[in-house]
């Protein structure tokens, strides 16, 4: 099963992918997580993209496409994948066509007001990437990761100016992909405003394992 999760920042793609990877038994490949892990490990790629991520802009297509191509060649992706955050531009979608045949493109639909609430309340554990929300999914102890006991942080790109920029970038560069994939008959629309469990139930009924 080869799936793409498409949708605005903060729509819950990463949250649902964490449930869907077990349900479909396929790896969750998030380009945002791959970039953040390179930044944390201070690789050349990490140094190159650090300020782009902090501002909420897009990493150049050729860099992102090469990274995804390498990742899809790893053994675990042979049985399928959930691509979360890729493609994000038409050139990336064209490049993906040459890498794999998709079964569905899941379009997470959520209003801007809800996106802003979700992103401004998101907190993450820097070492594991585990995601929380101060209201919708709080940790057991305020500000502390449930498993590692480390303090939770706010992503640089979840600050108000970067959120605004990410929404503009999404509208200009990524939203056109909805039409691109609808014309190919691949789009599955998901109402992302419900609880994570409900969104996962919707997905399972629309995209059969
Ligand atoms: P990336 O990490 O992909 O960011 P994004 O697409 O903006 O997605 P997010 O991770 O912000 O949101 P999400 O939809 O996964 O929501 P989440 O589940 O966390 O990319 C970051 C950056 O990397 C980009 O800006 C760009 O610079 C670069 N990049 C990445 N891919 C690229 C590409 N292809 N090309 C170029 N550059 C690229 O949920 C959000 C919050 O809501 C959480 O707090 C969560 O707890 C809460 N929540 C989730 N679901 C629910 C629910 N159902 N109900 C209530 N709360 C919920």
pLDDT tens string 59-87: 999 999 999 999 999 999 999 999 999 99
Look up residue 137 and give its DSSP letter.
Answer: B
pLDDT value at residue 116: 94
CA of 209 relative to ligand 1 center, distance in Å: 24
User: In the structure, what pLDDT confidence band is assigned to residue 103 with cuts at 50, 70 and 90?
Assistant: very high
CA 132 centroid distance within chain: 15
- In angstroms, the CA 125 to CA 205 distance is 31
Identify the CA nearest to 112 among candidates 17, 172, 193.
Answer: 193
User: In the structure, what pLDDT confidence band is assigned to residue 119 with cuts at 50, 70 and 90?
Assistant: very high
Peptide bond preceding 87 in cis form (omega within 30 of 0)? yes
**What is the chain's mean pLDDT, rounded?**
96
CA of 131 relative to ligand 1 center, distance in Å: 10
Is 69 known to be catalytic?
A: no
Measure CA of the first residue to CA of the last residue in the chain; give whole Å. 8
Looking at the predicted structure, is the pLDDT value of residue 127 above 90? no
CA of 8 relative to ligand 1 center, distance in Å: 8
C-beta 53 within 6 A of ligand 1: yes
pLDDT value at residue 128: 87
CA of 152 relative to ligand 1 center, distance in Å: 17
Q: Which atom of ligand 1 is nearest to the CA of 18?
A: 18
- In angstroms, the CA 27 to CA 33 distance is 13
**Both tokens assigned to 56:** 């909420």
Q: What region does 118 belong to: left with phi over 0, alpha with psi -120 to 50, or beta?
A: alpha
Give me the residue label for tokens 């789009």: 187
- In angstroms, the CA 5 to CA 134 distance is 24
C-beta 118 within 6 A of ligand 1: yes
Is 118 known to be catalytic?
A: no
Average pLDDT (127-156) is 94
Identify the CA nearest to 76 among candidates 24, 128, 4.
Answer: 24
Is 201 known to be catalytic?
A: no
Is 79 known to be catalytic?
A: no
């Amino acid at each position: 099963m080869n799936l793409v999760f498409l949708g605005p920042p903060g729509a819950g793609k990463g949250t649902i992918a964490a449930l869907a990877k077990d349900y479909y038994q396929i790896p969750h490949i998030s380009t945002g997580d791959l970039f953040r892990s390179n930044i944390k490990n201070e690789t050349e790629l990490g140094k190159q993209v650090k300020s782009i991520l902090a501002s909420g802009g897009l990493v150049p297509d050729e860099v992102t496409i090469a990274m995804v191509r390498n990742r899809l060649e790893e053994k675990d992706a042979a049985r399928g994948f959930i691509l979360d955050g890729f493609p994000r531009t038409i050139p990336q979608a064209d490049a993906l066509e040459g890498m794999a045949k998709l079964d569905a493109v899941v379009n997470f639909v959520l209003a801007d007001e809800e996106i802003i609430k979700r992103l401004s309340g998101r907190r993450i554990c820097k070492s594991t990437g585990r995601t929380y929300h101060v209201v919708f999914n709080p940790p057991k102890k305020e500000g502390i990761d449930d498993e590692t006991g480390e303090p939770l942080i706010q992503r640089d790109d979840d600050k108000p100016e970067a959120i605004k920029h990410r929404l503009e970038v999404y509208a200009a560069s990524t939203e056109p992909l909805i039409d691109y994939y609808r014309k190919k008959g691949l789009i599955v629309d998901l109402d992302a405003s419900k609880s994570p469990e409900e969104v996962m139930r919707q997905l399972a009924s629309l995209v059969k394992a």
